[in-house]
């Protein structure tokens, strides 16, 4: 009788800058086991301790002296100084510059894989200084690296969120992880026309417009003031309104179970949950990477060209000491079943955008030169009138 094959050993993970565990939750769904988490912010620590109770939690990467012997080291380091919505101080800013500690730890560690995630803006900020720093550090340590810009919608969540995923290894080819899948651009017919996401805090130079999706969820202010997107619901059957998702909706839009960040409320204001979710990594993105880390494929055939140092960073590239290459790939590695935004955000339970917020956004939009759909402008005006009437009625009832 033939011997039963031994199942492959589950890869082990150390999660640095762990946040609320989006990367680790995705890797866990791909069959991995987390051995260490490192996160400094107390509200995030509360979430990690609740959902990963048996995992060692270290509170500061600056005092972490060594990495455990794991297969995968993750580092979704702070985007504060790299994001368009942040300070844009760059890769050596106080927050984003903390990534230097990752490379200090890698000096004396030998993981099979290193996984980094961060915002698209780091490809262009300061002429791409951030990407140059990251890949140069990996090359200095003898790693082969590859990165790819992906859109979270490929996982099926209705959130237009573009993030850079970078994988590096001393012993394996990261192209067989990040470049092994390519579904091509998603067809516009995929999206319904019953709701559109936008950012009500904009209106002067942009809208953050997204069909059948919300624009990128943001962390909000440093004080924890939420910066939630809004939805124009224009479906006759499900109602017509201007609403904002609940925090539980936001969790689902990031691929987390609803209520994932509830444990943070014991560590601070409930509004901090928005910052935690906005700073997180979409779970499905991490799961896709995890499946490929555990079972690399073969890089798909794609156009490629040499990438001289100092040129603009493309949406996908790879390199190793002495050579760098740009690769032509889409932002959609896979095409998973799509959740329409109104199947995630229920207009009946979502919060109407306030009179003040809607009025301010409408006024900015009318003064701008931005293009917008005329029915959208009419819907904003109708919402303002409705909220004003509701406010007047409430005031009269209170007398």
- Report how far apart, in Å, the C-alpha atoms of 364 and of each of 228, 244, 253, 369, 376 are: 18, 19, 28, 10, 14
- Active site includes 79? yes
Give Cβ neighbours of residue 216 (< 8 Å, ≥ 6 apart).
159, 160, 161, 162, 208
With beta carbons less than 8 A apart as the criterion, state whether 135 and 122 touch.
no
Per-residue tokens: 109: 């560690």
- DSSP characters for 167-198? EEESSS-THHHHSS----SPPGGGS-SSEEEE
Per-residue tokens: 24: 């680790």
Name 52's bridge partners. none
Give Cβ neighbours of residue 144 (< 8 Å, ≥ 6 apart).
168, 169, 170, 172, 173, 174, 318, 319, 320
What is the spatial distance between Cα 387 and Cα 332, in angstroms, rounded to a whole number? 40
With beta carbons less than 8 A apart as the criterion, state whether 149 and 163 touch.
yes
Give Cβ neighbours of residue 50 (< 8 Å, ≥ 6 apart).
263
What is the spatial distance between Cα 331 and Cα 179, in angstroms, rounded to a whole number? 11
The dihedral sign for the CA sequence 14, 297, 10, 264 = positive
With beta carbons less than 8 A apart as the criterion, state whether 105 and 64 touch.
yes
Which residues are the active-site residues?
79
């Amino acid at each position: 009788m033939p011997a039963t094959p031994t199942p492959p050993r589950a890869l082990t993970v150390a999660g640095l800058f762990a946040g609320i565990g989006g990367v680790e939750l995705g890797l866990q769904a791909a069959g991995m086991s987390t051995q260490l988490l490192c996160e400094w912010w107390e509200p995030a620590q509360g979430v990690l301790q609740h959902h990963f109770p048996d995992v060692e939690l270290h509170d500061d990467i600056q005092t972490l002296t060594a990495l455990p012997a794991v297969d995968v080291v993750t580092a979704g380091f702070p985007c504060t100084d790299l994001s368009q919505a942040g300070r844009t101080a760059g890769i050596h800013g106080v927050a984003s510059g903390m990534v230097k500690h990752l490379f200090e730890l890698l000096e004396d560690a030998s993981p099979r894989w290193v996984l980094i995630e961060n915002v698209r803006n780091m490809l262009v900020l300061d002429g791409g200084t951030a990407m140059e720093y990251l890949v140069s550090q990996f090359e200095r340590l003898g790693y082969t690296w590859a990165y790819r810009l992906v859109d979270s919608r490929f996982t099926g969540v209705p959130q237009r969120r573009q993030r850079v995923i970078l994988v590096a290894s001393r012993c394996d080819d990261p192209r067989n992880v990040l470049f092994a899948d390519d579904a091509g651009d998603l067809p516009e017919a995929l999206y319904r026309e019953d709701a559109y996401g936008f950012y009500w805090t904009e209106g002067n130079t942009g809208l953050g417009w997204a069909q059948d999706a919300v624009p990128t969820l943001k962390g909000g202010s440093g004080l924890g003031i939420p910066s939630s997107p809004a939805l124009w619901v224009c479906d006759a059957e499900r109602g017509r309104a201007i609403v904002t998702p609940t925090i539980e909706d936001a969790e689902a839009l990031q691929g987390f179970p609803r209520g994932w960040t509830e444990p943070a409320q014991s560590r601070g204001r409930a509004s901090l949950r928005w910052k935690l979710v906005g700073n997180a990594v979409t779970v499905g993105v991490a799961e896709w990477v995890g499946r490929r880390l555990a079972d690399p494929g073969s890089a798909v055939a794609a156009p490629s060209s040499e990438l001289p140092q100092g040129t603009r960073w493309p949406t996908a590239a790879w390199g190793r000491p002495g050579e760098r290459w740009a690769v032509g790939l889409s932002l959609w590695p896979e095409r998973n079943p799509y959740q329409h935004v109104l199947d995630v955000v229920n207009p009946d339970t979502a919060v109407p955008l306030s009179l003040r917020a809607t009025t301010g956004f409408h006024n900015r939009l009318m003064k701008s030169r931005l293009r917008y759909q005329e029915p959208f402008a009419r819907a904003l005006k109708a919402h303002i009138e409705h909220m004003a009437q509701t406010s007047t009625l409430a005031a009269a009832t209170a007398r």
